[in-house]
Structure 1
């Protein structure tokens, strides 16, 4: 499919395609509120690296990944001066000064900024099921549910003693990874690729553990898609308990007894708590479900199963049976084909991960930060900058009635990098 350039769409202004991409997404007020909450205000009122400047410089480091600290600062301080954050008489800060300022900022500020600024960008829910609301991004909805996906990735960082002690390596012995790795699990918005929530931890902390920290943040108007690696009974119960709809691929060995076949060929099943080992107890639970009796949610959970074949998916001439589990048990609320198509949208997160790791950071590139606090800063700054770009692309695509996938992320990023030094905008709010 041909990808359009952002400028081809013609619905965003030049100031938006620069460091000004951060203006709408990361206003200075939000940065200063995060700084205040974290208690890391400026030590000197006349200092040229106050916390909000350090925050924007750190985000700029994520845009100019091939440049060193001094070069990035030189590129963007003219824009900071334009908005009264910088004095043109000052020289660009040295790498050492930026590093010390980042240390003072600590690890907590950027997650707080993310929390305040990185929300959904695909528009609002329609007032009635099945209607497309004005301003909705294409590919981001199933009826009134906002489609989300959950997935994880790892991040390489400099091989320092401090980073190794906090984050660890993949593997061990001769098969140990060359660099320490952080593990990131994130919720993203299908269709727009915007990250909405994330957890960052050591590599030894598994994806299921990090995902468990994210499930309580789901909302009732969201539908979460997930690969089979995320399934466990407790994870399903926790996520379903938020009121959000779920659409997860079932693990291959999971028993899915047929309780009742539905009108569209799907069927109802019960997911039995694996802590119940006694066969007779499991059979009684199934019999109770088939009789329409109430089931203790600590012992079993209702689910609907959608099965379909994907022919020759791996290229060996054979097909693959896909079994999906959903909490949407009524076919009139979502048909089988709708749910299969919605699960396919889960792969949008793979695109978002690729945008983040390959295009924004650069293929095979290691983080800059040699200290754990700065690693956390850099990862969260990455997520924030990616969200800002995704929001800009979605704004342009929605206004032009296009799928955001039709606009090239790579070309948009290049355009932002080319124009950032000339028209970069830092939000003017609160500068007086």
Structure 2
């Protein structure tokens, strides 16, 4: 009986903790017109408007310019500040894992090899405290992406202020994610000093399996009497209504991806990671393949790489005319997704024009996701998903948000982290 009482006490304590630290109530729908006046507006397409007027109503932007007579409704004086479109975190597992050490909170992957029918969206936890912590840095939307297997599953696009996944989704089932076979692998564990690269003897066979699977999916007729959930999920890849995101890094593997795209006559293909994509940039451009480049805050993968290769990859690819956006997968990806603007800031520090670096986490990302008509820039008719910052949002010192809106809704910028910051700042001030 004593153990039962202890167990009940733990459950009550845990429940109380979760209640105290629960996400804020999502903001209500926009009911009055809002005008942001006086800010420097970073449009997201490399344009900048000084002393701007940004007006939005019913969740949509209705005016962007300098004519102050267009301001109406509730006016926000943003003189000396900056207004940006909401940043978009692609290839993220936000909301799919809350605590890595607790298996019951981990929904980022499933058992199996070919899993196009696995939809990350239905496992998305809109009330995740990790998701909530994105907003104070201006990361207001994300592509929620499954992992694991050869085909991981289907991603969806969400906004980060909702009760549940149904309310959060802004584009459902946007892309299939394929982990391309590796031509080489490294022996031993990461801490071994004598690790060597070994050739994957089954590489060609693994590619053949992928090609055969895609051909069978293309031949499948949706709605067939004998329904195949896997092939049903692949519908849309071959007419371009759904994207194919191929996770690949090596030069040879990327060349094989280009050949695969041509062989399967695929319209929308994006490389994710793309560490050696700069070596075949001309071929990527010629074949209309975009790149979600790995996070810039990484060390080089190889001893003979330039020390700053990860920092300058965005410039190398964009200078070659490739459509480039930034993603943040890797160790502690979910927590580090809040650093997305600073990845762009690093790209700017290593040669990318500052406004183009901004575009790599806004409009370019929206284009790759097939959502450029709805999000990604401050333009009339698009969602009023934007924020006001005291300074340069791509700089840690200037990224200080004073207001943020998702689809016109005035959202909270408070999180568990900001609460702790205020609590302990006051403690040490006293």
TM-score, normalisation: structure 1: 0.28
Q: Which has the higher helix share?
A: 1
Structure scoring higher RCO (CA < 8 A, sep ≥ 6) equals 1
More strand by share: 2
